[in-house]
Amino acid sequence: MTEISNKNPLFGYSLNAITEEVAYNYKKIEGALNNYLKIESSLNGVAMPFLSNSRFWNVRPSSRDSIIILGLADPSIPTENVSSDNLDAYKPFSHGINYYLVWSSIESEIKRLAVLQLYRMAKPDKSSKKDAQKARTSF
């Protein structure tokens, strides 16, 4: 999950709901939670708070196409861990029409501090992971 067109993606998002009230013309779902970033949450529950009109934004993102949610159907596909707090950007250079573009790495202006902070706050500890795994296998 990320936010585009923002130099500090998800900076305005709060792990916990900031209000009990829902947006105008919306109805709160039955059993609504104030934090969905938990192991036992449904995929819909995890995605819903990132909608631009949800109760979880201190600073609302643009309402049109500003939040991107990606998922993998196959949990065995590895994801890439990024070892640095900095992101890289790539800038193309052309040496003429008969040459391939040359790409060079530059420091990105995009900051991932808010994304990392959200990840660290929502990351379950080892005991809650084991409890969730036990609950799934006990059926």
Q: Give domain limits for the chain.
A: 1-139
Binned at pLDDT 50, 70 and 90, residue 126 comes out as low
Three-state DSSP at 122 gives: helix
Give residues with Cβ within 8 angstroms of 85, minimum separation 6.
Answer: 112, 113, 116
For the entire predicted model, the pTM comes to 0.67
Which pLDDT belongs to residue 123? 79
Which pLDDT belongs to residue 83? 63
Give dist(CA 25, CA 117) in Å, integer.
Answer: 32
pLDDT in tens, 91-110: 899 988 999 999 998 888 88
